[in-house]
């Protein structure tokens, strides 16, 4: 799926037949199996993301493929291995591709294909934010908004596996009870709407669990300010998205009297910073694959779409309140 200019995805993305390039000595020929449509993919096509691929570009930053053939200098991969992108910008919305070996990470092929296809962005983001900003122990709690997003669902499950409680904020919607039930089934401890954040009932939650030391923000605007009030003094709020397209507003008193910390996180930057530190990357992937094998981390709710129906998938991925991730099946 190729785009030659930036604009609305359904208008600029086209399905094209291309020749598969020749295999160089350090290259790997990959047959793609499945690739999701993430918000960052949409923003890259629109031209609004901080990282843009040179045009013409193939869409998609995430997915899983099977190695068909390797160049004679390739040592770490062989035919039959499963691989995911080592970094953003690979262009995963295609049936086949030839990539340099260092652009791919091997993943075990004994995990479900949809888990592998959605592994490199959201679960990694969730894992790093839970690990890198506060040293959380079993019994501690975390509060997050956009709890039904791909990252939100991963946070619930990874936290649950570590004995950390989650308070999950979602927008009010017609099918709210159904969403609450789904998040509780994943292991959420509490699910509240944005409106509930400022109600006295919130105090009841903190009778049974401590106030959170960590808040994860993917929305911005009012939702963020409301979450801050529930943070412990000296707690940290990490912003990793801005779905409301509004700034993060912080009352001066939260800084002075409660000394809260505001940080940001971008998985792409983390990968750049750790490009030479393969041990950290391997340890994270290993931990996530272990959770998947134990059934403690599942793929987000997915809708599988054949490649030729890509336009419908692109449009569906941009609708509000859709809790299902569109996955192109290749």
Q: What is the pTM of this model?
A: 0.92
For residue 223, is pLDDT > 90? no
Residue 281 CB partners (closer than 8 Å, separation 6+): 105, 271, 274
Q: Same domain for 66 and 87? A: yes
Which whole number is the average pLDDT over 263-282? 93
Domain boundary among 249, 267, 285: 267
Over residues 214-241, the mean pLDDT reads 93
Claim to verify: residue 200 and residue 218 sit in the same structural domain: yes
Residue 280 lies in a domain: no
Which residues is 282 bridged to in the sheet? none
Within a domain: 235: yes
pLDDT tens, residue by residue, 78-116? 999 999 999 889 999 999 999 999 999 999 999 999 999
Q: What is the mean pLDDT of the chain?
A: 94
Q: Phi first, then psi: what are they for 117, rounded to 5°?
A: -65, -25
- Whether 273 maps to a domain, the answer reads no
Percent of the chain's residues with pLDDT above 70 = 99
275 within a domain of the structure (yes/no)? no
Domain of 109, CATH number, reads 3.90.180.10
281 belongs to a structural domain: no
49 tagged catalytic = yes
Q: Are residues 91 and 211 in the same domain?
A: no
Residues 42 and 138 in one domain: no
User: CA 227 from chain center: how many Å?
Assistant: 21
- In this structure, are 85 and 36 located in the same domain? yes
Is 316 inside a domain boundary? yes
Q: What is the pLDDT of residue 321?
A: 66
Domain count, the chain: 2
Does 49 score more than 80 pLDDT?
Answer: yes
Range of the domain at 80: 2-118+299-329
Location of structure tokens 């691989």: 83
HSE-up of residue 84 (Cα within 13 Å, Cβ side): 26
Same domain, 263 and 217: yes
Same domain, residue pair 139 and 243: yes
pLDDT digits (tens, 9 = 90+) for 8-42: 999 999 999 999 999 999 999 999 999 999 989 99
Is it the case that residue 161 has pLDDT exceeding 80?
yes
Residues 182 and 208 in one domain: yes
Catalytic entry in 3, 49, 240, 310:
49
């Amino acid at each position: 799926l190729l785009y030659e200019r930036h604009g609305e995805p359904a208008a600029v993305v086209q399905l094209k037949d291309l020749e598969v390039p020749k295999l160089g000595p350090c290259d790997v020929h990959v047959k793609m199996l499945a690739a999701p449509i993430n918000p960052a993919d949409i923003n890259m096509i629109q031209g609004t993301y901080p990282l843009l691929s040179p045009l013409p570009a193939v869409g998609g930053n995430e997915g899983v493929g099977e190695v068909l053939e390797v160049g004679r200098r390739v040592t770490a991969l062989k035919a039959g291995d499963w691989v995911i992108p080592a970094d953003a910008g690979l262009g995963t919305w295609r049936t086949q591709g030839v990539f340099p070996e260092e652009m791919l990470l091997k993943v075990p092929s004994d995990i479900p294909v949809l888990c592998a296809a959605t592994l490199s962005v959201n679960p990694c983001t969730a894992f790093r934010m839970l690990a890198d900003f506060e040293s959380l122990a079993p019994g501690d709690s975390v509060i997050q908004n956009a709890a039904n997003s791909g990252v939100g669902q991963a946070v619930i499950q990874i936290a649950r596996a570590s004995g950390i409680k989650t308070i999950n904020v979602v927008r009010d919607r017609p099918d709210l009870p159904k969403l609450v039930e789904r998040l509780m089934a994943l292991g959420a401890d509490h699910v509240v709407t944005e409106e509930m954040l400022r109600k006295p009932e919130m105090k009841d939650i903190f009778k049974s669990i401590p106030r959170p030391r960590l808040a994860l923000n993917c929305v911005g605007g009012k939702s963020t300010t409301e979450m801050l009030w529930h943070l412990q003094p000296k707690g940290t709020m990490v912003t990793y998205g801005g779905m409301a397209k509004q700034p993060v507003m912080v009352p001066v008193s939260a800084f002075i009297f409660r000394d809260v910390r505001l940080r940001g996180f971008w998985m792409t930057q983390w990968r750049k910073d750790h490009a030479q530190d393969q041990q950290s990357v391997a340890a994270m992937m290993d931990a996530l694959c272990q959770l998947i094998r134990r059934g403690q981390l599942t793929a987000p709710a997915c809708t599988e779409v054949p490649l030729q129906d890509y336009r419908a998938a692109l449009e569906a991925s941009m609708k509000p309140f859709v809790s299902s991730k569109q996955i192109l099946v290749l």
